[in-house]
Structure 1
C-alpha cells in the first residue's frame, strides 16, 4: 500500500523569442518576461539573453528565471523551475534540462528569483538551437503542495506496552538470583546485587567499588536502620517505587516516610529522600510537627523544615499544642537550632 506524502502542480510552456538578434543590445539585467498561473499563484518566467552567472564571471549566459508575483496562501511556497532549449524543426534533440528549486516567502515581492543557466551566449549561434533568428525555450514550473500528515487509523495502531522492568528487577531482588552481597540488619539477611546498588547509590558505589573497608566483603552489617525500612529502601533501589508510601492511612505513611527519609539520606538516595519530604510535608499535624522538624533538621531537609515551622507558628493555639507534645521536648533537647528557627519565625510574624 502506497501513501502519497506530497502533491505537485505542474505547467509546461514553450517560449519562442523571434528576432533574437535584436536582444544583443540588451544588458545582463534585461529579460523577456512571461506570466503564468500555476496552483492558483501568479508566476513570472523571464528569459535572459546575456545573464552573467556569477559576479566575477564576465561570460554571459542564456538563462531563465522564476519569481513569485502573488500573495502566498501559506508562509512559504516551494517551487522548481526547469528549462531546456528545443529545436522546433525537430532536427536536434532538446538540450540537457537544467533545474533549480527554491522556497519562496509567501509575501508578494519578498523573495528573490531562482535562476537556471542554459548555455553561454557565445555558444548559441553554433548550437543549432537558434534558427531563423528564433530561439525556443521549454520551461516547466512545478509547485509542491503540502498535504496533511498521513495518519494510520487507530484500529491499526498497536497499543504501546507499559514498562515491566521494575517487575523483573523486583523479582530479581526477591529471588536473590546472582546476589553477590548480603546485608545483615538486626539479624535479618537481605541478599542483593552490588552493581545495581552502586548504580543507584553513590554511597554504596564508594563502599563496593572504592577504597572503603567493605569493598571485597560479601556481608555488610547495617546498624541504626529497622529491617522493614531497609527492605523498603532496597525495593525502591530496584524498582523506583515505594508501595508503603501509597497507603491511605496518613499516620502509617508518616511513620514509613520518617524511617525511609533517614535511610535515603544515609545512602544518598536523593529521589527517595525528596519523595519522603513531600509525603511528610503533606501530613504535618500537631502530634507530628516537632518530631518531623527534628528529622528535617538532622537530615538537612530545608523544604520540610520550612513547612514544619510554618505549621507550628500558624496560630497561637497550634503553637501551644505543639509545645505540649513529647516530640517538642525531644526537639528542644536534640535540635536547639530548630527551636531558634521557630522563635525567629514568630518574631517575623509579629513584625
Structure 2
C-alpha cells in the first residue's frame, strides 16, 4: 500500500489565506452651529481643516468648505479628505473612506446626542503627490443645515470621517482551514468597573467614612477615595482631616449637590445628569472642587466644557476662574473670545468685570490696554 493510501483517512491539514493588509481609523471635526449659520458670508473656496490625525502610518486632515470649494458648489458644504504629507515620486496611498454629517445637540449635564443628517457612499482613491485631496463638492446643502434646531445656538455639527488605508496584501496561516483567531468564538464585553463601583456608592455597602456637607450626609469608602484623589489620601490616612466625636468629616464650604457629583465622578469616572440650564454653573463649582482634591481628569473635563459656555455675560467670570485655578486652556479660550473688539467692549461693561478687576488685576490691565489699542 502506498504512503498516500495509508494517510488518506487523516483529517489533519494546513492552509493559508490571503487577506488585505489595512488599517482603520476615525476622526471627528466638530464645528459649532453658528459657523454654519454664517457660512453664506464665507468666501467660496475658503476652508477649515481638522487637526492632523494618523491612520495606516500616514497623516491626514479633513477639509470642510462651509460655502463650497468652487463657484459651482456655492451654497453647499464641500468635504474632502486630504493626505497631509508629500508622497514620494510614483508612490500611491490608497484609502477607502466615507463621510457623515451629524447634528450634535447638547443634552443634560454635558451629555451630547448626535443624529446623522447627511451621509454619502464610501469613496476609494489613490492619493499621490499630484492629487492629495479627494471628496464631495456638494456634500450637503447649507440652507438645510442652518434650519435644523440649535444650528444658531450652542449646538454643533460633526463631520465624521471613517477611513481604511490599504497597504497591500498579506498571507495568514490557518488551522484546519480556519483562521487562527479566538475572535470568532469569544466576545469580550466592554469594561464595567465603573458600573460596579457606582453600585457600591449607591448601596453604601462597606462604607467606612461619612461626610457632612451643609446639612447633608454622604457615606463613602476611604480606599476608593484615596485611590482617586491624593488629597483624600492624605486626609483619610494621615490624620490631616479633623472629625467630630462621631467620626464624621465636616465640609462647610461646598454645596451638597457639588460634593455628590464629585463623589459620583470618583466612583464612576463620569458625571451625573443635571437640570438643563444648570450645566455651566455646576461645571464651575466642580472645577473648583476638582482642583481642591487634585482630581485632574475631572478638572480638565470641566475646563473643556466651560469653553463652550464663554459669552459676553460669562467671559469675565470664567476668565477669573481660569486664572485662579491655573486652567491654561480655558484661559486661552477666553482670551481668544475677547480678541473680537465687540466682545471685549461688552465684557468690560459687564458686572463680572468688577470681580475680575479685584481678583486678577494684571489681566484687567491687559484687557483695558487691548480695548484702548
**Which TM-score applies when normalising by structure 2?**
0.50
1:253 aligns with 2:282: no
Q: CA deviation at 1:153?
A: 8.3
Match of 2:342 in 1: 317
- Report 1 or 2 for greater relative contact order, CA contacts < 8 Å, sequence distance ≥ 6: 2
Stretches of structure 1 lacking an aligned partner (at least 5 in a row): 8-145
Deviations 1:160-194 (A, max 9, x none): 21222111111111111111111111010000000
Q: Distance in 2 between matches of 1:235 and 1:291?
A: 26
Q: Distance in 1 between matches of 2:182 and 2:16?
A: 22
Pick from 137, 157, 166 the counterpart of residue 194 of structure 2: 166
Match of 2:206 in 1: 178
Pick from 7, 14, 20 the counterpart of residue 4 of structure 1: 14
Pick from 262, 282, 293 the counterpart of residue 308 of structure 2: 282
Q: Distance in 2 between matches of 1:345 and 1:180?
A: 54
Deviations 1:98-130 (A, max 9, x none): xxxxxxxxxxxxxxxxxxxxxxxxxxxxxxxxx
Q: Whose radius of gyration is greater, 1 or 2?
A: 1
Pick from 341, 351, 356 the counterpart of residue 331 of structure 1: 356
Where do 1:19-34 residues align within 5 Å?
none
* RMSD, aligned CA: 2.9
Q: Distance in 2 between matches of 1:207 and 1:270?
A: 18
1:302 aligns with 2:328: yes
Match of 1:200 in 2: 228
8 Å contact 2:16–2:173 — kept in the other structure?
A: no
Q: Distance in 2 between matches of 1:2 and 1:328?
A: 80
| CA distance 1:152–1:343, shift in 2 (3 Å) | farther
Match of 2:367 in 1: 342
| CA distance 1:206–1:155, shift in 2 (3 Å) | closer
| CA distance 1:3–1:164, shift in 2 (3 Å) | farther
Q: Distance in 1 between matches of 2:335 and 2:184?
A: 56
Per the alignment, in what secondary structure is the counterpart of residue 14 of structure 2? coil
Where do 1:46-195 residues align within 5 Å?
147-150=171-174, 151=179, 156-195=184-223
Stretches of structure 2 lacking an aligned partner (at least 5 in a row): 1-10, 18-169
Q: Distance in 2 between matches of 1:300 and 1:155?
A: 46
* Residues paired across the two proteins, number: 206
| CA distance 1:220–1:211, shift in 2 (3 Å) | closer
**Which TM-score applies when normalising by structure 1?**
0.53
